[in-house]
Amino acid sequence: MENKFYTRTVNILLTLFLSTSIFASDNKILTNYRLHGIKNIEKALDKSLTETTYWKEYLKNKDTKFGYIESYTNILLCDKSKSELLIYSKDSNNTYKLRKEYSAFTGKLKGDKRKEGDLKTPIGVYDIIKKISKVDSFYGPMAFVTSYPNLYDRYEGKTGQGIWIHGLPTNQERDAFTKGCIAINNKSIECMNRNIDIKKTVLIIKENANDSTTPSKKTLSQLLSTLYAWRYAWLYNETENYLNFYAPEFKRYDGMDFKRFKKYKTRIFAKYESKTILFRNINIVTYPNMKSVYRITFDEEYKSNSFSFNGRKVLIVKLQDNKFNIITEK
């Protein structure tokens, strides 16, 4: 198992090495490899991923209207002010195109949801957790359960649950608003069911058209390069640099504040363990109605002598004065 993992890592590094012109002509890198082996190449490549020049070039022809997205094939965009729910799907050119447009009911009151029973539809970025095929007739033929309250909602102290995308009553009348859910007519929700894979779909809910969901490529380059700078500090046990990526007001998903988190990470980094950390399926989406707040998700593969992890990671990041600040993570 160990040999397979190492071989795969080497293959990734060599592929990146051969496909990146900045290294193809760098005799110092080749000399280091000749004299010291793959570890020197690995560290140099890890360092190069922290540079914005790489990411600016990489993003040049990418569709970034919703952010940097590797794993979502569908974007559900709800604009509360227009009472609409849109489906954007990735085409063969990896460009998001408007595919379906539905009229939608949302919460009775405007603004972001803060607590149970406030009759507001939340503003934010959500996953679709599951589909419920058998629901009360009031909700039409089916419902899609969202991840509200998500990591950022809980960090903000928001309460409530049961925010769904659902249909309309089949046997009764209803008001022209919801208690916080998103409701579309029954033909539309059946159409949506045919057109999305919930595991590859993200839901963005915004208050109005002025809540921009389009970050600049310059900003995305900065976020991606800083994400890998954070990884670099983590990978090479640079405790102080690593902790500098966290905001003083940081609070982890389980309530651990920055002071306790700092002690915890300092103790772990003091082991100076060699480790492998790989990120895949990275998605960076702008948080609507929030100034310079981004949700970053990715699949993380972590391996050291004392611990291994393979699963999903979520970071909520603020850009303040061009500084990357992690305010919560899971």
Q: Helix, strand or coil for residue 81? A: helix
Our answer to whether residue 166 is catalytic in this structure is: yes
Q: Which residues contact 240 (CB under 8 A, 6 or more apart)?
A: none
How many Å apart are CA 84 and CA 228, to the nearest integer?
A: 37
Question: Within its chain, how far is the Cα of 72 from the centroid?
Answer: 10
Contact 92, 162 (CB under 8 A): no
Residue type, 293: V
The sign of the dihedral angle between the CA atoms of 279, 281, 287, 292 is: positive
Residue 283, both tokens:
């998605």
Our answer to whether residue 78 is catalytic in this structure is: no
Contact 245, 262 (CB under 8 A): no
Task: Write phi, then psi, for 139 (nearest 5 degrees).
Answer: -100, 15
Report which secondary-structure segment, H or E, holds 269.
Answer: helix 258-269
How many Å apart are CA 123 and CA 112, to the nearest integer?
A: 5
Q: Helix, strand or coil for residue 51? A: coil
How many Å apart are CA 31 and CA 169, to the nearest integer?
A: 71
Active site members: 166, 181
